[in-house]
Amino acid sequence: MNFCKLETCNGKAWNNLYCEKHKYRLKKYGNFLLPSPQERFHLKYKIESNGCWIWLGGKNKSGYGIFSFSNISMMAHRYSYQIHKGEILTGMLICHSCDNRLCVNPLHLFMGTNKDNVIDMFNKKRENCRKGEKNGASKLSLSSVQEIKKLIALKKTRGLSKKYNISRATIYKIKHNILWAEVKI
């Protein structure tokens, strides 16, 4: 049985030189030392022509980059802000001036409250304007809503929620123009 050629390692050497761990590190990083979290972070993005540093590592369900180190996982843009600009105050968000969730360029990041982020969103006209059928969560089509509104006008609302597989609260909101207000009959 051959062992890793590094003096401090007792791992099995499958290729007669180094164990799998050190072979991997040599191939990936060019040496046997594990890079620091900051060094690893800087290996995980590419720089775009618009200045965004696009995160290439893992992502969460919301589309934000995730960076893990020392058994800690955090959003990559927050880690970038911390190592380049300093501490993030409790309860504060790290917002993107570029509106790109995968960007980790510290020049595109600023600390702000949820209110600051919403104001930024409205100023840039990024508010969720997907209404009606354009909203991926919508169960109704334009023609369905028109039919529902006609039946509501005729006072024939019994069974509508079952027929369209929506809640009675949704029928109420359509009736009172809380939802689908833009649809006229």
How confident is the model at residue 81, as a pLDDT? 98
Whether the Cβ atoms of residue 118 and residue 129 lie closer than 8 Å to each other: no
Domain boundaries, the chain: 1-34, 38-123, 132-175
pTM for the structure as a whole: 0.58
The helix or strand, by DSSP H or E, that contains position 110, with its residue range, turns out to be strand 109-112
66: three-class secondary structure by DSSP: strand
75: three-class secondary structure by DSSP: strand
**Tens place of pLDDT for every residue, the chain, 185 residues?**
687 777 777 778 766 687 888 788 878 777 777 678 898 899 999 999 999 999 999 999 888 999 998 889 999 999 999 999 999 999 999 999 998 999 999 999 999 999 998 888 888 877 655 667 666 667 888 889 999 999 988 888 888 888 888 899 999 999 998 888 888 88
* Residue/partner pairs of 110-115 with CB below 8 Å, 24 or more apart: 111/81, 111/85
In eight-state DSSP terms, residue 88 is: P
Buried b / exposed e over 68-106, threshold 16 CB at 10 Å, is eeeeeeebbbbbbbeeeeeeeeeebbbbbebebbbbbbb
Tell me which of 3.40.30.10, 3.90.75.20, 3.20.20.80, 3.30.70.20 is the CATH number of domain 38-123.
3.90.75.20
How confident is the model at residue 24, as a pLDDT? 81
How confident is the model at residue 125, as a pLDDT? 74
